[in-house]
Amino acid sequence: MSSVASEPRPAASRIAGRWREWLVLGGGGALVAGALIDRTWEALPHPQRLAETVVLAVLAVLAALALRAWRGWPAASGLALVAIAGVAVFDGPLPLLAALLLALGATAAGRLAAGGVAALPVGLALVAAAGGWLLPLPVHARWTYVLVLGALAAWRWRELRAAGAGALAAWEAARAAAPRAAFLAMLVLFLASTGTWVPTMQYDDIAYHLGLPHQLQATGAYALDPTHHVWALAPWAGDVLHGIAQVLAGQEARGAVNLLWLGIGAAGVHRMAGLFGASATARWSAVALFASLPMTLALAAGMQTELPGAAALAWLACLVADDDGDAKAARRVVAGAILFGLLWALKLMHAAVALPLLAWAAWRHRAALARSLRSAAGLARLVQAGLLAAAVGGSSYAYAWLVAGNPVLPLMNATFRSPYFPAQDFADDRWQQGLDLALPWNLTFDTHRYFEGADGALGFVLVAALGAWVLALLRPRTRAFTLAATAGLLLAVLPLQYARYVYPSLVLLLPALVAAVDGALPVSRAAWLAGALCVAQLAFHGNGYWMLRGGAVGRSVVALGADAPVLEKYAPERVLVARMREAGTTGRVLVLATDPHAFAELGTQGRTVSWYAPALVAAAHAADAQADGRAWAALFRQEGVTDVLLREAALQPAQRAGLARLGALRMDAVGAAEWWRIPEPAQ
């Protein structure tokens, strides 16, 4: 060895040689500085929330260790079983069985369409597509679904058994490659799954998303009528899947379906990190970061589309990144078209976010694309893929155009001028904060300005991983994908600066970020940094939605799966609706003076005087102008209203007078919510 080679390098040289590490640490430093400047600790949930998280984590670990001692199960596998058992305990066994049958039938359908390539998410897309086109037909019954899904599963049972064995083998290989990391990631994923334990009670769910599942359960069909709900024809794939599970179970099954999406999302993130060359430990770090995002917990507790959207995006990215040769290329194209159609069917925004992924796919496979464009057969296959995506994603848009004259009602109505909404483009001014370079910082530390949650609701990845993002752009293996995912994120915030819309792109970025850090730091040091970020996000885990911040998960645990005690606290109108059903109420129910407007589960019998029903709200405003209540009394009779949900403090004088004129009687009350009945008119 030469003397020159043996001389120690100067300090400046050593520092320069570690620039990647300093870049990664710089993101962590920016996060600490931002937390100090913005006093982010003041947004921490009540210490009781942290105590509940710790208690649940300890109980889950003890249960997993007990399974290992009893059956020899690895601790990570035990935690997966504990998460599944949690849904059975707190949501009921029937929703879990319904989700299992849905998964089996969907996997069979996915394997028929695209082989083993992303069979479960592809199959769920196909099931949602079929259900979407059949919504107005009275065919949605438990035994119809059992026969169809059961027949699919029975037909492909040998393949399903082989696929199940393969999945278990892949799980065991991934777990054994990094057992500690797998255990910790599954623990964080279990904590995210506790959102599936709470009853459905988020604002948009009880005002909108519950409508389709409850209509299918009550009538076997869905009314394509935006008269009393302007979002009735909006993209519905997520609600269709919830509806199928609900009809199968005979009760709401949101928690079980969301647990399915959590698993699909985690598997997609893990696989994508591996495709980018991340170590076994780093792959599990990506899963833990996904699960620790406060919004993941909040989405598991509701029916919004961002969780399935993130899962579908992750698997679409896997299809593009996969290099398994030309043998499976045709099937990857089919699977990709179906997943892209699913994104359209979930929400217009998700499809827009996926467009840069398609551009990345075209660039990555440009040679094959060029060959296809030069041949008639190849061009035909591309056209067929486009038609397949349209068939999977197009049902709501087609029905909205046919029924209302606007395929994206109530969006862009200044152009389409549907009579069901004012001739103006729907916009929510609350989330028009403007675009600037400080947006990632503001989304992280001032999240309340961009979302109906507390600061930190989006997690801390946007700031903490800034250095990792630069490394991902510099790294050839992740550069193009990082550009595509970043472009998708920008597309998500262009029309509205709304934090929840950022979530799918943020999840999509995680595998590239952990892969970049994994290549820059020793595995153990990268794992410690990811672990520290997960802990920070878990500390703010309840901030993704106010009910979770207020202790909804803890209340559900104390109630042992009984919905009423939790709903009485957060959505008392739902308790009154349940009591109406028990009393045999069959008339129309008007949600008159409540917030939230909990009328979705009433289906075609529900009415509201909120902006969801523009014609009725205009009539309500006119009736408010007559203080004697005559106009309101006439409106009640005109709409055939027999029961009213209200909150006394929000009741207008004219409304009170109208109820009095008709002799309305208070039947029940839960908290501030009241149920009044209007007697039938005298003959």
Instruction: Return all residues near 353 (Cβ < 8 A) that are at least 6 apart.
Output: 309, 313, 343, 488, 489, 491, 492, 504, 505
Whole-angstrom distance, CA of residue 365 vs CA of residue 477: 15
Task: Find the helix packing angle between 329-346 and 93-114, rounded to 10°.
Answer: 140
Share of residues in the chain with pLDDT > 90 (%) = 86
Which tokens go with 523?
């595995």
Residues 546 and 587 in one domain: no
In the predicted model, what is the mean pLDDT of residues 265-283? 97
Q: Indicate the pLDDT class of residue 427, thresholds 50, 70 and 90.
A: confident
Q: Taking the CA of residue 88 as centre, how many other CA atoms within 13 Å lie in the half-sphere pointing to its CB?
A: 9
Asked whether residue 4 carries a pLDDT value surpassing 60, the answer given is no
Helix (H, G, I), strand (E, B) or coil at 54: helix
Write out the residue range of the structural domain in which residue 615 sits.
571-677
DSSP state, residue 425: -
The neighbouring-strand residues paired with 662 are none
DSSP 608-651: E-STTSHHHHHHHHHHHT-TTSHHHHHHHHHTTEEEEEEEGGG-
Confirm whether 94 is domain-assigned: yes
Residues 544 and 662 in one domain: no
User: According to the model, what pLDDT value does residue 17 have?
Assistant: 53
Residues 288 and 369 in one domain: yes
In the predicted model, what is the mean pLDDT of residues 315-330? 82
The neighbouring-strand residues paired with 647 are 673
User: According to the model, what pLDDT value does residue 324 have?
Assistant: 66
Token pair 């060359």: residue: 277
Whole-angstrom distance, CA of residue 76 vs CA of residue 99: 22
Residues 57 and 155 in one domain: yes
Residue 562: CB atoms within 10 Å: 12
Asked whether residue 85 carries a pLDDT value surpassing 90, the answer given is yes
Residue 584: CB atoms within 10 Å: 6
Which tokens go with 399?
């029905």
Burial profile 60-75: b = 16 or more Cβ within 10 angstroms, e = fewer: bbebbeebeeeeebbb
Confirm whether 398 is domain-assigned: no
User: According to the model, what pLDDT value does residue 370 have?
Assistant: 86
User: According to the model, what pLDDT value does residue 326 have?
Assistant: 60
In the predicted model, what is the mean pLDDT of residues 502-524? 95
Whole-number mean pLDDT of the chain? 93
- Sequence length of the chain is 683
Q: Indicate the pLDDT class of residue 615, thresholds 50, 70 and 90.
A: very high
pLDDT tens sequence across 642-670: 999 999 988 999 999 999 999 999 999 99
Burial profile 284-312: b = 16 or more Cβ within 10 angstroms, e = fewer: bbbbbbbbbbbbbbbbbbbbbbbbbbbbb
Token pair 């949930």: residue: 45
User: According to the model, what pLDDT value does residue 1 have?
Assistant: 37
**Cα-only R_g, the chain:** 26
pLDDT tens sequence across 190-241: 999 999 999 999 999 999 999 999 999 999 999 999 999 999 999 999 999 9
In the predicted model, what is the mean pLDDT of residues 66-80? 94
- The model's pTM is 0.95
Give backbone dihedrals phi and psi of 670, rounded to 5 degrees, phi first: -135, 110
Confirm whether 405 is domain-assigned: no
Residues 290 and 382 in one domain: yes
DSSP state, residue 74: -
Confirm whether 563 is domain-assigned: no
Asked whether residue 452 carries a pLDDT value surpassing 70, the answer given is yes
Confirm whether 408 is domain-assigned: no
DSSP state, residue 495: T
User: According to the model, what pLDDT value does residue 18 have?
Assistant: 83
* Nearest partner of 316 among 346, 277, 283, judged by Cα: 346
Asked whether residue 506 carries a pLDDT value surpassing 80, the answer given is yes
Name the domain count of the chain: 2
Residues 45 and 154 in one domain: yes
In the predicted model, what is the mean pLDDT of residues 602-614? 92
Residues 527 and 634 in one domain: no
Residues 501 and 601 in one domain: no
Asked whether residue 7 carries a pLDDT value surpassing 70, the answer given is no
Confirm whether 225 is domain-assigned: yes
In the predicted model, what is the mean pLDDT of residues 235-261? 98
Share of residues in the chain with pLDDT > 70 (%) = 97
Q: Indicate the pLDDT class of residue 262, thresholds 50, 70 and 90.
A: very high
Q: Which amino acid makes up residue 396?
A: S
> Using H for helix, E for strand and C for coil, what is the string for 186-209?
HHHHHHHHHHHHCCCCCHHHHHHH
142, 250 contact by CB (below 8 A)? yes
Is the Cα dihedral 128, 129, 130, 135 positive or negative?
positive
Confirm whether 209 is domain-assigned: yes
Q: Indicate the pLDDT class of residue 400, thresholds 50, 70 and 90.
A: very high
Residues 109 and 229 in one domain: yes
Which domain-ending residue is among 552, 580, 614? 552
User: According to the model, what pLDDT value does residue 75 have?
Assistant: 95
Burial profile 191-219: b = 16 or more Cβ within 10 angstroms, e = fewer: bbbbbbbbbbbbbebbbbbbbbbbbbbee
Task: Find the helix packing angle between 614-624 and 653-661, rounded to 10°.
Answer: 90
Longest Cα–Cα distance in the chain: 112
Whole-angstrom distance, CA of residue 211 vs CA of residue 205: 8
In the predicted model, what is the mean pLDDT of residues 60-82? 95
Task: Find the helix packing angle between 476-493 and 306-321, rounded to 10°.
Answer: 150
Residues 216 and 313 in one domain: yes
Cα–Cα–Cα angle for 124, 125, 126, rounded to 5 degrees:
90
Residues 534 and 603 in one domain: no
Token pair 């990647």: residue: 20
Confirm whether 411 is domain-assigned: no
Which domain-ending residue is among 520, 552, 584? 552
Token pair 């279990």: residue: 190
Whole-angstrom distance, CA of residue 217 vs CA of residue 40: 45
Whole-angstrom distance, CA of residue 567 vs CA of residue 562: 9
Give backbone dihedrals phi and psi of 624, rounded to 5 degrees, phi first: -60, -25
Torsion, Cα 555 558 564 566, to 10 degrees, reads: 0
81, 73 contact by CB (below 8 A)? yes
Which domain-ending residue is among 552, 586, 615? 552
* Nearest partner of 431 among 449, 456, 445, judged by Cα: 449
pLDDT tens sequence across 98-117: 999 999 999 999 999 998 88
Which tokens go with 123?
């199959």
Residues 575 and 548 in one domain: no
Asked whether residue 9 carries a pLDDT value surpassing 60, the answer given is no
337, 584 contact by CB (below 8 A)? no
